[in-house]
Amino acid sequence: MGNADYVYPSTNEYRQCAHPVAVPPPQPFFKSFKNSLKETFFPDDPLRQFKNKTPSRKFFLGLQYFLPILEWGPRYTFQFLKSDLISGITIASLAIPQGISYAKLANLPPILGLYSSFIPPLIYAMMGSSRDLAVGTVAVASLLIGSMLGDEVNATENPALYLHLAFTATFFAGLLQASLGLLRLGFIVDFLSHATIVGFMGGAATVVILQQLKGILGLQHFTQSTDIISVLRSVFSQIHEWRWESGVLGAVFLFFLLLSRYFSKKRPKFFWISAMAPLTTVILGSLLVYLTHAEKHGVDVIGNLKKGLNPPSFGDFVFTSPYLTTAVKTGMITGIIALAEGIAVGRSFAMFKHYNIDGNKEMVAIGTMNIVGSCFSCYLTTGPFSRSAVNFNAGCKTAMSNVVMAIAVMFTLLFLTPLFHYTPLVVLSAIIISAMLGLIDYEAAIHLWKVDKFDFVVCMGAYIGVAFVSVEVGLVIAVAISVLRLLLFVARPKTFVLGNLPNSTIYRSVEQYPTTNDVPGILILQIDAPIYFANSSYLRERISRWIDEEEDKLKSTGETSLQYVIFNMSAVGNIDTSGISMLEEVKKITDRRGLKLVLANPGAEVMKKLNKSKFIETIGKEWIYLTVGEAVEACNYKLHTCKPDATNEDSQPWNNV
């Protein structure tokens, strides 16, 4: 980096390129406040479609907004039905065994897994905006419910109260989800970053897999804790109770499930093989137990499942102390996790098919289906990735595939539940382990390490917290680290020196572009964030240090002494009163050192506040420029046409230009 190639502009060139920086016209307070609210809560402008419409048309559009089925339903064709029929039957074959398995994971009666795959998909089909999301229960939410409710109530000793608390927690989860959508507060979910979700899901999957050793090994007594140490201690302290029959069955079925998944991954057109594998294992396992009477030789089975559709449960909610607090806490945490997973999955598949989904509308849909579901013996549901991926690969066209799945589950509830009597629990454990292995995304963790070490720390913090302490602690650790990083971004913004790219008027970071040239007598700094109370003190100290370092460097090389400090404000989207005070202090510091402070490219919001605070009068309009190039040209013009003492704060040579 040097200064030999810098070309000084002529006076005529400078006069042609100088442009004043405008202060935006003042706006009434209420108009400005309204615009701020709109940008915060309505960035997608959902009310745009209602403009210039008749009242009847507005009413119908409002119904379409909350019930998208009214929008795509009239355009539904027989070709769509054929595709959705195949997709719905395919995901039903996955939903039935997974539903039973995940209910056991939550320490709930297995039939609840089927109930939760009947009512909620029907609600989502009417209200959801995703064509590919397949609704049902998920392992992580089931684990959370089992862990958090289990700390308060023992599911074995008091099953009725535990069941009622699960319904109550689901109700509060749905209430929170729907409220976030209606109040346009979906950005809260964004605090669960991608790195947080990768680590959290991986840790939860690890815990779930280890807990399934109870079913695989046929253990009767097992720890209620979810951390790895407690689970492994419980497994290896009961070696004398391991049942080899159960272990062999589990290993065989797990191998079959993993083999089918591997085959479908290698040959995507045979996706249906992995989708049908769980139901196949249930059928084969049930036949094997029935023919060999394995239930009499240490292989536990599901037992009787109640026939019939969902019984109402709105009278079972628990609103009394001390259980209400537990239900609310469980509902809020599981609701946020389920919401983040459902929206992330929906957006992922929408991107593949080139359409958009409304995050806030999805929150209302998911929340409503959980509120309604909790009133009809369902526990928490969302859009699991595995089921949605099968739905996507099966060629679904609309949310009607959820209706087809619900009808298949309804048929199962009415007529087929007795067939699950002999289903071995070890098969359910194998199904859960197979599904959970897909949630341990080690490739994503490696990618985080390569791209962003801090994101990797967030990921591992979530993983270690979930796996070695508890699910709740892991979530808190991950969110805390993510928020800490956000605060660091705000409180410690990037500042860097700019240099001139050879043979141009472009100025870029000297670290990113080592070939840039210094501009003699001028220090150009870029502030890469809004200036707020949280970072104003840091910026004042960092700017002073930049000036000290630049002056020391110039003294050691014997080059032209520093005369001007230019701030490139293009990345400063906003500034508060603390930030303005910081600029005033920096102005005093530069004045005491005999330097001139110059601003380049301040935005409209910044100019408006600088004008109201009288800082523009303090610095002088002639020291604010539209671009860094213009500011440098002006400073160079002064350096080579004015006497050194003409650069102090009392002189205004621009009046003579």
Residue 184, SS3?
Answer: coil
* CA separation, residue 532 to residues 221, 443, 583 (Å): 57, 38, 11
CA–CA separation, 111 and 378 (whole Å): 10
For residue range 327-375, list pLDDT tens digits in order: 999 999 999 888 888 888 888 888 888 888 888 889 999 999 999 999 9
pLDDT at res. 187: 73
Comparing 75-89, 219-233, 271-285, 562-576, the range with the smallest average pLDDT is 219-233
Structure confidence at residue 385 as a pLDDT band (50, 70, 90): confident
Comparing 23-37, 96-110, 305-319, 612-626, the range with the smallest average pLDDT is 23-37
Query: Is the predicted pLDDT of residue 132 greater than 50, yes or no?
Result: yes
Higher pLDDT, 652 or 350: 350
Enumerate long-range contacts of 235-242, CB under 8 Å, 24 or more apart.
Answer: 235/210, 241/217, 242/217, 242/218
For residue range 133-160, list pLDDT tens digits in order: 999 998 888 988 988 898 889 888 899 9
* Architecture of the CATH domain 492-656: 2-Layer Sandwich (3.30)
Q: Mean pLDDT throughout 573-590?
A: 94
CA–CA separation, 242 and 45 (whole Å): 60
- Average pLDDT over the chain reads 86
For residue range 627-646, list pLDDT tens digits in order: 999 999 888 888 777 644 44
CA–CA separation, 475 and 656 (whole Å): 64
The listed range with the strongest mean pLDDT (376-380, 428-432, 481-485, 489-493) is 376-380
Higher pLDDT, 18 or 132: 132
For residue 381, give both structure tokens: 């549901």
Q: What are phi and psi of 242, to 5 degrees?
A: -65, 140
pLDDT at res. 15: 41
What are the boundaries of each domain within the chain? 78-440, 492-656
Query: Is the predicted pLDDT of residue 29 greater than 80, yes or no?
Result: no
pLDDT at res. 275: 82
Structure confidence at residue 11 as a pLDDT band (50, 70, 90): very low
pLDDT at res. 12: 45
Q: Mean pLDDT throughout 474-489?
A: 83
Q: Mean pLDDT throughout 415-432?
A: 88
Higher pLDDT, 8 or 189: 189
Query: Is the predicted pLDDT of residue 93 greater than 80, yes or no?
Result: yes
Query: Is the predicted pLDDT of residue 40 greater than 80, yes or no?
Result: no
pLDDT at res. 116: 95
For residue range 188-228, list pLDDT tens digits in order: 777 778 888 888 888 888 888 888 888 888 887 777 777 88
Higher pLDDT, 406 or 654: 406
pLDDT at res. 407: 95
Query: Is the predicted pLDDT of residue 183 greater than 80, yes or no?
Result: yes
CA–CA separation, 93 and 532 (whole Å): 55
pLDDT at res. 642: 61
The H or E element that residue 269 is part of is none
Per DSSP, what are the bridge partners of residue 599? 567, 624
Query: Is the predicted pLDDT of residue 657 greater than 50, yes or no?
Result: no
On the 0-12 / 13-18 / 19+ scale of CB atoms within 10 A, 157 is exposed
> Residue holding tokens 């979906």?
186
